[in-house]
């Protein structure tokens, strides 16, 4: 059995060997892709090859891909670049969406975390002639719940609204076709699919309005100034290509995810799986261990060599109440016991078994301690 089981791919998926090799080759070669000499032209060729690879992963045209520093910047660029508009966002969006437009109007979700399409339709109807941008993620980072993007786009189009989709957690896990979805903007992040941190992309549909305040040398066709992170982009492209191959070969982690959930519920019958009645990406499970704080679970499993998380990993290592679970109507005391398990490209059966064993051992220790304390009282 491996020394540890890494089951936190929704935070960061380990770097794929192909991505590492691509990055090393670029770092050795050097070159600025804006330079006209041979080294610069070679760097430009690397960037454009990666652009095609990333575009292919989501069914976009290469000209529609703008490289960024990550998913957060991609979200910010989309929400600001669409121009002055009334912004509608779902209540379970990532903080990088919710905080990008502090005055955005929130559209609620049901108990499974699925956006309320009736509420969205009503919000759109109340806009009159005011220009609107709707932002709804494709897959939730905490629960894995998939959103009805096609239906949301249909409603938005009927009201003349633009649509942004944060697909950071969905790309490489479910088929993504930007033109099939009909969205105007779509955000991606390399390190969620086995690429490096610090690089992402925004798909801007050809013809969609887009203005940027990133002034500088005119890189990325004047859509995002600053010298491109050539090595990071190369790694992103390689990871996108590998993720696309695995998707085409039918990589499906649902069996292992279901095995985890079935085993944990058998161990603790009162355990609750959030979003279980909705469509989800196959690699993610958000589950509450009754009576055991999430921090305790994360630390105990860490000591057992199993790496999971307590919700989103974007708060400087702090464990905070999940806004996603709150929006789903989960009581605070129950949400405080929820952890996220997320599988990925290098997950093995031994990792699943190690998790189940560690979770069982912790639950037994806690319940036996509670019994002993009750008897002593």
pLDDT tens digits for range 1-19: 568 999 999 999 999 999 9
In the chain, domain spans: 5-13+252-376, 17-247
Mean pLDDT of 117-138: 95
> Tell me, what's the pLDDT at 9?
97
How far is residue 245's CA from residue 16's CA, in Å, rounded to a whole number? 13
The residues carrying an active-site annotation are 314
Residue range 101-108: average pLDDT? 94
Kindly give, in sequence order, each residue whose CB lies less than 8 Å from that of residue 200, ignoring residues fewer than 6 positions away: 67, 68, 69, 70, 71, 72, 73, 74, 168, 187, 188, 189, 190, 236
Query: Model-level pTM?
Result: 0.93
Q: How confident is the model at residue 249 (pLDDT cuts 50, 70, 90)?
A: low
| pLDDT score for 318 | 53
**pLDDT digits 0-9 by tens, 129-141:** 899 999 999 999 9
- pLDDT tens for 354-364 read 999 999 999 99
Q: What confidence tens digit (pLDDT) does each residue in 182-200 have?
A: 999 999 999 999 999 999 9
CATH code of 17-247, in short, is 3.40.640.10
For residue 1, what pLDDT is reported?
53
CATH topology (fold) of 5-13+252-376: 3.90.1150
Dump pLDDT digits (tens) for 304-318. Answer: 999 999 965 554 455
What's the pLDDT at 316? Answer: 41
Segment 32-43, tens digit of pLDDT: 999 999 999 999
């Amino acid at each position: 059995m491996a020394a540890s089981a890494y089951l936190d791919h929704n935070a960061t998926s380990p770097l794929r060997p192909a991505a590492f090799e691509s990055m090393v080759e670029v770092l050795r070669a050097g070159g600025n892709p804006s330079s006209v000499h041979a080294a610069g032209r070679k760097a430009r060729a690397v960037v454009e090859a990666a652009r095609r690879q990333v575009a292919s992963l989501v069914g976009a045209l290469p000209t529609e891909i703008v490289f960024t520093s990550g998913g957060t910047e991609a979200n910010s660029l989309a929400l600001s670049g669409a121009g002055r508009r009334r912004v509608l966002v779902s209540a379970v969006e990532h903080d990088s969406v919710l905080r990008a437009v502090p005055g955005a109007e929130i559209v609620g979700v049901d108990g499974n975390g699925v956006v309320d399409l009736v509420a969205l339709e009503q919000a759109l109807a109340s806009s009159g002639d005011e220009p609107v941008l709707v932002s709804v993620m494709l897959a939730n980072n905490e629960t894995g719940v998939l959103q009805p993007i096609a239906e949301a786009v249909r409603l938005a189009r009927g009201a003349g609204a633009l649509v942004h989709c944060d697909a950071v957690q969905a790309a490489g896990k479910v088929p993504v076709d930007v033109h099939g979805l009909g969205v105007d903007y779509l955000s991606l992040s390399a390190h969620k699919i086995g690429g490096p941190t610090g690089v992402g992309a925004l798909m801007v549909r050809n013809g969609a309005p887009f203005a940027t305040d990133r002034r500088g040398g005119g890189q990325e066709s004047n859509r995002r100034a600053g010298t491109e992170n050539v090595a990071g982009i190369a790694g992103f492209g390689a990871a996108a290509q590998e993720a696309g191959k695995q998707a085409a070969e039918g990589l499906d982690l649902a069996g292992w995810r279901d095995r985890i959930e079935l085993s944990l519920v058998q161990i603790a019958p009162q355990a609750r799986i959030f979003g279980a009645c909705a469509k989800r990406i196959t690699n993610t499970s958000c589950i509450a261990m009754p009576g055991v704080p999430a921090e305790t679970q994360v630390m105990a499993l860490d000591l057992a060599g199993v790496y999971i998380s307590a919700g989103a990993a974007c708060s400087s290592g702090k464990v905070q109440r999940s806004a996603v679970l709150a929006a789903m109507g989960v009581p605070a005391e129950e949400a405080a016991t929820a952890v996220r398990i997320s599988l990925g490209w290098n997950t093995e059966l031994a990792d699943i078994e190690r998790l189940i064993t560690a979770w069982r051992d912790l639950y037994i220790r806690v319940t036996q301690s509670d019994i002993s304390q009750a008897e002593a009282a």
